[in-house]
């Protein structure tokens, strides 16, 4: 896998940032989480006057061989059908990107359908879906490297246009299954606590999904008795998920804010942070959804989400919904008056 040179943000400005926040004309600490967000954004950008200019959203699509095992309520053709729908502006992700001014890039990383001639879809296809990880590795090392490089290059394209904040979303039927296994193996949380309803399977479907993932885990440990994080990512991940890891790591390397969406993207953030722990300082965890285990995964990372709205659409929609809070934090530190300029007595 390509090397990433990621460092924690320099903390040297933290005292000045805190002083600026505390001198805004409000009771000390009265804007709560917004003050924490302002501190994080300022440290990431190394400035007292941060910006969220030219926000970009990467929507990555890919299919999964494990879908053939009946672990999802939705059939795999929904992946390519939705990808085309996104180009027509009809998805949830389109609506939220329009609402909040994000540039949307729709990228085929591994969809099991020929989308190369569809206007509005960026063709970065590695393969038409991963292999069935119940029986074999989802992808080869070369394919994993290509997915990582694809995500990194997409972020470079965003930053070339002056982007200050990157959001990543996914479209891939059955991708809660690899996410559950990543969570289980990277957090050492019992598999039963990691497996949920995904797109809406019933209790019998959840039991079947658990059985399939248990069999995949058994095969994996027979082949990798002492697995590395890279092994875990390669064995179970989707191309869209591994590209998301590459995007997150490149954004962190280039000191750019990362908005993290729901269960799938939190699993990608988890894998990215297991590879490079410093990357987490650049991440804002935006939403905790209803998928079983999502809260436990966030807790394992020490991450507190901004929203809990019960969303489980994916596509990055939870992160986009949370963006106005990040915007409010930036507006607070840039636009609120301080006690001196407002001629208000500072009483603390």
The residues spanned by each domain of the chain are 56-332
What does the alpha-carbon distance between residue 44 and residue 290 come to, in Å, rounded to a whole number? 30
Q: pLDDT by residue (tens digit) across 208-235?
A: 999 999 999 999 999 999 999 999 999 9
The model's pTM is 0.96
Task: Assign domain 56-332 one CATH number from 2.60.40.10, 3.40.250.10, 3.30.70.260, 3.40.50.10210.
Answer: 3.40.50.10210
Give the mean pLDDT of 194-211.
87
Q: Cα angle vertex 225, ends 219, 229, to 5°?
A: 95
Statement: residue 341 has pLDDT above 70: no
pLDDT at 337: 87
State residue 348's pLDDT score: 62
Q: What positions carry a catalytic annotation?
A: 315
Identify the pLDDT of residue 342.
59
Closest by CA to 248, choosing from 211, 274, 279, 288, is: 279
**pLDDT of 11 strictly over 90:** yes
Torsion of CA 61, 66, 68, 70, to 10 degrees: -100
Taking only the tens place, the pLDDT of each residue in 82-96 is 999 999 999 999 999
Tens digits of residue pLDDT in 55-82: 999 999 999 999 999 999 899 999 999 9
């Amino acid at each position: 896998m390509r090397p990433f040179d990621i460092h924690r943000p320099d903390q040297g400005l933290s005292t000045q940032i805190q002083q600026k926040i505390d001198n805004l004309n409000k009771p000390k600490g009265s804007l709560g989480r917004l003050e924490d967000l302002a501190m994080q954004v300022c440290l990431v950008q190394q400035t007292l006057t941060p910006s969220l200019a030219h926000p970009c959203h990467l929507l990555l699509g890919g299919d999964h061989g494990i879908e053939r095992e009946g672990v999802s309520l939705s059939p795999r053709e929904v992946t390519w059908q939705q990808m085309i729908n996104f180009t027509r502006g009809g998805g949830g992700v389109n609506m939220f990107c329009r609402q909040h001014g994000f540039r949307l890039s729709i990228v085929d990383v591994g969809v099991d359908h020929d989308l190369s001639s569809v206007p509005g879809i960026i063709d970065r296809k590695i393969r038409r879906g991963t292999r069935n990880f119940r029986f074999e590795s989802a992808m080869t090392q070369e394919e994993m490297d290509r997915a990582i490089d694809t995500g990194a290059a997409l972020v470079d394209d965003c930053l070339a246009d002056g982007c200050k904040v990157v959001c990543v979303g996914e479209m891939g039927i059955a991708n809660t299954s690899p996410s559950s296994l990543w969570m289980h193996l990277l957090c050492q949380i019992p598999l039963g606590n990691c497996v949920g309803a995904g797109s809406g399977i019933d209790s019998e479907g959840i039991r079947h999904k658990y059985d399939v993932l248990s069999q995949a885990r058994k095969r994996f440990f027979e082949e990798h008795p002492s697995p590395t994080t890279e092994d875990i990512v390669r064995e179970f991940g989707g191309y869209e998920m591994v590209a998301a890891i590459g995007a997150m790591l490149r954004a962190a390397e280039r000191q750019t804010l990362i908005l993290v969406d729901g269960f799938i993207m939190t699993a990608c953030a988890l894998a990215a942070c297991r590879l490079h722990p410093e990357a987490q300082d650049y991440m804002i965890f935006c939403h905790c959804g209803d998928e079983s285990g999502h809260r436990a995964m966030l807790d394992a990372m020490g991450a507190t989400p901004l929203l809990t709205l019960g969303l489980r659409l994916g596509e990055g929609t939870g992160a986009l919904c949370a963006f106005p809070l990040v915007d409010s934090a930036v507006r607070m530190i840039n636009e609120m008056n301080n006690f001196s300029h407002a001629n208000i007595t500072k009483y603390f």
